[in-house]
Structure 1
Amino acid sequence: MTQTPHVHREHGVERPDPYAWMAAGGDALLDHLATERAAYDAATARLRPLAETLRAEMVARVPASEISPRWARARYSYALRTRAGAEYADLVRAPAEGGPDEVALDVVALAADAAYLELGVTVVSPDEDLLAYSVDLDGDEVYELRFRDLRTGLDLEEVVPRSYYSGAWSADSAWFFYTVHDDAYRPHQVWRHRVGTPVAGDVLVLEEPDERFEVQVRGTRTGDLVVLWSESNTTSECWVVDARDVTRGPWSVGGRRDGVRYHAEHRRLPDGSSDLLVVTDDDAVESRLMVAPVPDDDQDATSWIEARPESRSQHLLRADAFSSCVLLAVREDGEHRLVQVPHDDLAGTRGSTELEGDLLRSPRYDAAAVTVLQESWLRPGVAVSDDLGSGLLDRVWEEEAPGYDASAYLTERRSFPSADGTAVPATILRHRDTPLDGTAPALVYGYGSYGAVDEPAWDPALPSLLDRGVVYVYAHNRGGGELGQRWYLDGKLSHKQHTFDDHVAVADGLARDGLVDPDRIATRGLSAGGLLQGAVFSQRPDRWRAVVAEVPFVDVVTTMFDASIPLTITEWDEWGDPRRRADFDWMLAYSPYDNPPPAGSRPDLLVTGAVHDPRVMVHEPAKWVARLRETDPEWSPRCLFRVETGAGAHTGPSGRFGHLAYEAEVYAWVLDRLGVS
């Protein structure tokens, strides 16, 4: 492996980095990655029959064709329909008065000559004659924005070559708002495009100069406003634009105050007036609900009135307004719930109704009922129609899983004490014939960053592990949002070590309590979860039989010093700014690249990466693999690097079968390392 002498010097500390040359990219790195991929393919050739068996099992649990729950607009109802054997779902619609579906967007045709495809936005105009949609054909999250006339099925001439997630229409369907990212992949601008005119004439509506912030845009359910917001890890600001006269606005909803985040939802009131529902963490860690006036040229919205105070046991996520009520999305006791409250009693003092699940799509403001999706790890999804007036529930859709028997599997929640005594919850999944008596192998999955939550969702790949006697465990580590905002805050910045301690605590607890085989525990995670794997690989190599670190963020200090790398500046509030000595010290203490474990004590390791990944640059996992092999040459054949050298994204291949093939590869390696035939 090529090494080039290089030393980082910060705060009087020297950090040797002989693989720093990889960060420059170029042909030398590409050649190295091609060699790595060839080595991976050769090393795993013996596992291909197992991987193919697993893939066939997974595919068999996916219906040949399927259709999603429908969502209604004024003139049409819409759904996602997957044709037999297709990788991607098409957008279809049927007249509201009844009739057959017509294809609004043939996604299969878009992907016909592409190795990868991901849709960014798919937003139907208010008059339902136009569709704004964007596509990424490489996996680098650079989306080409297009406009389709749904009356003819033809795309209009204008194309925006570089756009990002999120978009919104004006009320008259004449204008479309979209976001653009800079060279660091930070969405920093909102533009307005007039349909039927050259893109060169598009209007810049908002630009965010602060490199810590990212902008987004969406329409409101009422159709009266367009909401723009800019958000960092700790602070946000919202603006509104008059959707009926796009030249009016943007007006700030509440200004910008460091350390305060808020989001706004528009509602109309029975007397003809309207206001904003604002969910904010201002003086409320788990957030509270405020009411604010709609700003305009003569009215600012700084006079917020509290409508629902903070509850320490219930994290308020979102407020969705409808003509008949407001639905509050909350997390409580680790579960996602919807709480229905009347407009005149947002605090719910007169009582409220609750329902597990989350809204599916964005129904109309005057909807009499909403569709709620309810999922679990081991049960295909179910959609219920919730009548907002009567509260009656009607099952309207069930996800198909051919040949799958949910009753063959068990789910339970346990908790294990972390290093500081904090109880860490974990969800344990297994086949009912697999005992928790210390004989079964286990795979522990973790993430634990950004307050993110892996909401339970049916995974047709998972039973192939459980059927072979593997216990699958989701570790709900601090840094995630499973137990609310406080749980998140206790696993970021100077508290980041808690995330790693929690993950190890779950594995140690499984072994200590005699639940799984202590010598056959594997662990897996992606991106920030890949960092988690790198950290526990270094800190407790004795704990694991095998480690899967997918697109891992492992060169923490070096990356956070380099402001030219995508996402670095926006991430300082999550990980720390190493220009500050205290931040530098805590990051250096756990950075996997800077802290390889002792030679001779390492578990088997599978690392993944992707050339087009804009979130974790491919040189990070490449450098880490090289460093690990250099520091333990005898172990190095047990370290594999699966890199996507062509089209491919942060989360792996696209398409429903393409991604299952990837999962089958990973599972085949895990099963082999755990000694499962």
Structure 2
Amino acid sequence: MTELSNPTGRPGGAPPVAAQQAHEHTTHDVVRPDPYAWMSEESPAFTDHLAAERGWYDLSTAHLGSLVARLRSEVEARVPEVTRSGTWSRPRFSYYTEDQRNRDYAVIWRESRNNFAPDAAKSAAPGSVGNDFARELVLDVNDLDDGTGYLDLGFSVVSPDENLLAYAVDTTGDEVFRLRFRDLRSGQDLPDVVDGVHYSGAWTADSSAFVYAVPDDAWRPVEIRLHRLGTDQADDVSLLEEPDRKFELSVRLSRSERAILVLSQCRDTSECWWLDPTGVDLVPRSIGGRRRGVEYRAEDGPDGLLLVTNDEAVEFRLMGAPVPPPGGQTHETWTELRPEDPAERLERVDAFETHVVASVRRDGSHQLRVLPADDLGSAGLLVGSRFPTGGLQLARNTWYAADSVAVTDEDWTEPPVHAEVSFADGSVTDQGRHEAPTHDPRSYVSEVRRFPTPDGHGVSATIVRHRDTPLDGTAPVLVYGYGSYEAVFEPEWEEALPSLLDRGVIWVHTHLRGGGEGGRQSWLDGRMRVKQNTFTDHIAVADGLAAEGLVDPDRIATRGLSAGGLLQGAVFSQRPDRWRAVVAEVPFVDVVTTMLDDSIPLTVNEWDEWGDPADRGDFDAMLAYSPYDNPPPAGGRPDLLVTGAVHDTRVLVREPAKWVARLRETDPEWSPRLLFRVETGTGSHVGPSGRLGHLAYEAEVLAWILDRLGVA
């Protein structure tokens, strides 16, 4: 490997060159050379190679130091001294979080409700606090930082009696958590420690025990266990195990606190169980069994269970079911409460004592439909965002007897507004808005446009720009995309984006097949053997922006993370001429090799998203776009920034490392224009932890993009 030199300014040496070892994969009689198969997280040589790559990145970006500092200063100036969340209420207390400007993590507080009594509390307004309240500290997440350089609060759940807090912490970035319990009366942690838990958990009704999910060695949550306070973890009881490796388990307590609900799901099939939180044995009862291709999720409603399902409904419908008897029940017990609307994707329902709130996607945007509990088939009240391209989202709602629902409304350049939507008439009452010092939302405009695709389908994109930046073909553009899992990157205020827009760069978010902006059908049209539609859509937006004279055709950059990193790898290979620069964050790029290895995380349960390469048709489809197997021709490649993290359990760091090595090998002259920013210490799939760490990372990436786009 080449030693690094010239520690200031642009590099004068050469980038690292990875060793090659002869290796071949043979599948369906197709031979694939893989000279970097030796790369493994357990290999000292690989560790040294990653360190060299990080050193080359640091050296190559040293000249951007002043720009990074300037961007970081701008971004941090938009962060207020204190940011307070909306409030969520329980019978005894109202809860909220506060973020302080110079601290990485949130602080959770609560305020006692005046003259607490069960009957009085039931009728009180959600979020209301009496005059004689005392602010109490629930948890200062900053105090959990043990100096590893990484911290993530996986979940925090207050017990039904509100005397205890269950919280889970990860200090490495591998998404395996340590569960602790805090006595909120004393502020002290109980002796109980439960290691190796996943993201979800639920209290029993008497607050004496906690139900949690346990991952296996492949980081797949496969078991639900019960921990009784005051006992050793070794004595925890197994309640449910998932034998099918395609499925993952999660658990939660319903808002009504009448049911513990367990969900087992893969990409296109699910099963739900009901557990009695007051029961001694907590025996799971299946709500409707499991049928291949049928998804359903359960909510405990005022008159039984509510099920959101795609059973004979592509865009999902609402069904009702009784509480299952011992031994479970079948789907024949279900009754339709609200039929499918092909124009409206029903995503979930949240039940309250008198109303049900349906989260829906209509005309490409997220909206809420407020329905009377006794007339769930009615039109109800449809409430959307106040912003042109914004999204109205449910906030945290823990009050079952509420007469309104807490929401958050925001857009890409509009800081969040916390509000309450009345069940009675759908009126919206603002409770507060995040401050953003130095930022004026009126300086920016956003719109949605549609661009043609080669197959005639068409693809939409949101265009965000400074009001003074014209759409006349002179401005550079950064195009962002994801397009997998029916996921939607909802419009969300980001402190760093104005620094890009203020410099005259247009920002575009693509709504691709494979994602969920267009509902369930949009996902079906961009997965498995038709995954190429996702990549074609993203390229079509960039081509459309250039062809219609909206942006500078020679200054188009593109960015995406994880499955969005795969998107970047595919469009980098398929249309290298289209891009000035590409940012592929933790990219899933060695598609075929990874999907053939069922021993590593997220392979088996990903077959229903990408395909199973044991099937020749799936294999051929994946091989056709896999970036590692399809490097673009030498010459004419755009600048490329790749990221990765050694503790990433979703995309193992070997994937981006192998891809970078293959790209360097196949175009040595271009190789210095490829940078690999790898987290060799603590860090997770989405980069550094903490608010300040995230802002610093974003300033780095934006500085590189601006430099590559030639923006001063």
TM-score category of the 2 structures, normalised to the smaller one? over 0.9
Task: Please identify runs of 4+ aligned residues in structure 1 that moved more than 6 A.
Answer: none
Q: Distance in 2 between matches of 1:333 and 1:52?
A: 40
For 1:49, the equivalent position in structure 2 comes to 66
Q: 1:389 to 1:246 in 2, by over 3 A?
A: farther
Q: Distance in 2 between matches of 1:377 and 1:657?
A: 20
**Are 1:658 and 2:711 an aligned pair?**
no
How far did residue 397 of structure 1 move?
Answer: 1.3
For 2:93, the equivalent position in structure 1 comes to 76
Q: Distance in 2 between matches of 1:353 and 1:235?
A: 29
Give the AA of the match of 1:277: L
For 1:619, the equivalent position in structure 2 comes to 654
Task: Verify the 8 A CA contact 1:653 1:659 in the aligned structure 2.
Answer: yes
- Partner residue of 2:187 out of 144, 147, 153: 153
Q: Distance in 1 between matches of 2:668 and 2:280?
A: 63
Q: Distance in 2 between matches of 1:655 and 1:252?
A: 39
**Are 1:176 and 2:206 an aligned pair?**
no
How far did residue 365 of structure 1 move?
Answer: 1.1
Report SS of the residue matched to 1:629. Answer: helix
Q: 1:5 to 1:308 in 2, by over 3 A?
A: same
- Partner residue of 1:415 out of 450, 455, 462: 450
- Partner residue of 1:382 out of 386, 409, 417: 417
Task: Verify the 8 A CA contact 1:294 1:301 in the aligned structure 2.
Answer: no
Q: 1:107 to 1:5 in 2, by over 3 A?
A: same
- Partner residue of 1:555 out of 584, 587, 590: 590
Task: Verify the 8 A CA contact 1:177 1:191 in the aligned structure 2.
Answer: yes
**Are 1:513 and 2:543 an aligned pair?**
no
For 2:288, the equivalent position in structure 1 comes to 254
Report SS of the residue matched to 1:22. Answer: coil
- Partner residue of 2:373 out of 343, 361, 382: 343
Is the deviation greater in 591-600 or in 370-379? Answer: 370-379
Task: Verify the 8 A CA contact 2:289 2:329 in the aligned structure 1.
Answer: no
Task: Verify the 8 A CA contact 1:292 1:301 in the aligned structure 2.
Answer: no
Matching of residues 529-540 of structure 1 within 5 Å: 529-540=564-575
Q: Distance in 2 between matches of 1:172 and 1:283?
A: 39
**Are 1:369 and 2:399 an aligned pair?**
no
User: What fraction of aligned residue pairs are identical, expressed as a percent?
Assistant: 59
Q: 1:604 to 1:298 in 2, by over 3 A?
A: closer
For 2:153, the equivalent position in structure 1 comes to 119
Q: 1:388 to 1:18 in 2, by over 3 A?
A: same
For 1:61, the equivalent position in structure 2 comes to 78
Is the deviation greater in 63-72 or in 554-563? Answer: 63-72
Q: Distance in 1 between matches of 2:266 and 2:57?
A: 38
How far did residue 161 of structure 1 move?
Answer: 1.1
Q: 1:662 to 1:246 in 2, by over 3 A?
A: farther
Is the deviation greater in 78-87 or in 137-146? Answer: 78-87
For 1:581, the equivalent position in structure 2 comes to 616
Q: Distance in 2 between matches of 1:593 and 1:641?
A: 15
Structure 1 unaligned spans of 5+:
269-273
Give the AA of the match of 2:338: R
Matching of residues 259-658 of structure 1 within 5 Å: 259-268=293-302, 274-297=303-326, 300=329, 302=331, 303-348=333-378, 351-356=380-385, 357-658=392-693
Residues 317-359 of structure 1 deviation map (CA, whole Å, 9 limit, x = unaligned)? 111111111111100001111101112221115x544344122
How far did residue 296 of structure 1 move?
Answer: 2.2
For 1:35, the equivalent position in structure 2 comes to 52
Task: Verify the 8 A CA contact 2:316 2:345 in the aligned structure 1.
Answer: yes
Report SS of the residue matched to 1:329. Answer: strand
**Are 1:206 and 2:240 an aligned pair?**
yes
Residues 351-384 of structure 1 deviation map (CA, whole Å, 9 limit, x = unaligned)? 5443441221123111122211111111001011
Report SS of the residue matched to 2:677. Answer: strand
Residues 19-43 of structure 1 deviation map (CA, whole Å, 9 limit, x = unaligned)? 0000363211111101110110001
Q: 1:459 to 1:652 in 2, by over 3 A?
A: same
Task: Verify the 8 A CA contact 1:139 1:612 in the aligned structure 2.
Answer: yes
Q: Distance in 1 between matches of 2:586 and 2:329?
A: 45
Give the AA of the match of 1:294: V
Report SS of the residue matched to 1:157. Answer: strand
Q: Distance in 2 between matches of 1:82 and 1:497?
A: 41
Q: Distance in 1 between matches of 2:42 and 2:555?
A: 38
**Are 1:9 and 2:38 an aligned pair?**
no
Task: Verify the 8 A CA contact 1:170 1:246 in the aligned structure 2.
Answer: no
How far did residue 418 of structure 1 move?
Answer: 1.3
Report SS of the residue matched to 1:440. Answer: coil
Give the AA of the match of 1:79: Y
How far did residue 114 of structure 1 move?
Answer: 3.4
**Are 1:186 and 2:186 an aligned pair?**
no
Q: Distance in 1 between matches of 2:19 and 2:269?
A: 43
Q: Distance in 2 between matches of 1:598 and 1:25?
A: 32
Q: Distance in 2 between matches of 1:11 and 1:161?
A: 42
Q: 1:299 to 1:636 in 2, by over 3 A?
A: closer
Q: Distance in 2 between matches of 1:88 and 1:588?
A: 42
Residues 466-508 of structure 1 deviation map (CA, whole Å, 9 limit, x = unaligned)? 0000000001110000010000110000110000000000000
**Are 1:87 and 2:104 an aligned pair?**
yes
Residues 160-182 of structure 1 deviation map (CA, whole Å, 9 limit, x = unaligned)? 11000111111111111100100
User: Normalising to structure 2: TM-score of the pair?
Assistant: 0.93
Residues 565-609 of structure 1 deviation map (CA, whole Å, 9 limit, x = unaligned)? 100001000001001111100000000000000000200000000
How far did residue 300 of structure 1 move?
Answer: 2.9
For 1:271, the equivalent position in structure 2 comes to none
User: Normalising to structure 1: TM-score of the pair?
Assistant: 0.98
For 1:142, the equivalent position in structure 2 comes to 176
How far did residue 222 of structure 1 move?
Answer: 0.8
